[in-house]
Amino acid sequence: MIRVLVADDHALARSGLAAMLGVQSDIEVVGMAADGVEAVAEARRHRPDLVLMDIRMPRLDGIEATRRIRAEAAAPAVLVLTTFDLDQYVYEALRAGAGGFLLKDAPPGQLAEAVRTVAAGQALLAPAVTRRLIERFLSVPPESGTALEGLTEREREVLVQIGRGRSNAEIAAALHLSEATVKTHLSRVLTKMGLRDRVAAVVFAYEQGLVRPGQAEGQ
């Protein structure tokens, strides 16, 4: 059973999200929060597996709430809700530790599947809409490439593929490797670069200039 906390400042939205998730046999809504302060407190109280987090909330926004929640020991995963055209902080949410994005008008089935994906520790980054979000709001210049010196050539190739939002299976096919080997390379990249998860690896790849906004798949 996946235990979920719903954080949204609109009561109707909270109730609707909870209702959509409540009908799933493998998902249980254990709490709700009306702002970021409540989200942090309720996450500590209920110890959910995942927090469904709105970005724009009073007292404490979803980005800072995500950062505080993810800094806790045995932290839950965070799935961020976004309106896409209006939210300009989705990249910062990734940096804060969010595991992925979901559009607020997503159908119930997509919502439940997104919760399962992120709760399982997988980054919800493959859909084209998420790649566009990253590309649109990433405006930081690339950092010095010296941080990459500890990686082998193959590990750099895997990191580039991760930055492009590809799954392990897609990376394996592109680089002619087994999925097990891709997982091994990914694990080494995370360890060497001090990254907590796949989402952090995507952010790192952009920051290091390995992947640039608007870059074509083959470039």
Per-residue pLDDT of 1-23, as tens digits, reads 999 999 999 999 999 999 999 99
pLDDT in tens, 136-161: 555 555 555 557 888 999 999 999 99
Query: Mean pLDDT, the chain, as a whole number?
Result: 83
* Torsion angles phi and psi, residue 32, rounded to 5: -135, 155
Q: Which pLDDT value is given to residue 15? A: 93
**Spatial separation of the C-alpha atoms in residues 99 and 4, rounded to whole Å:** 14
Dump pLDDT digits (tens) for 159-187: 999 888 788 888 999 999 999 999 999 99
Asked which of 103-112, 129-138, 208-217 is least confident by mean pLDDT, the reply is 129-138
Query: What's the pLDDT band for 125 if we cut at 50, 70, 90?
Result: low
130, 124 Cβ separation under 8 angstroms = yes
Confidence of residue 100 (pLDDT cuts 50, 70, 90): confident
What local confidence, expressed as pLDDT, does residue 136 receive?
58
Could you tell me the domains of the chain?
A: 2-137 (3.40.50.2300), 145-207 (1.10.10.10)
Contacts of 160 (CB under 8 A, 6+ apart): 205, 210, 211
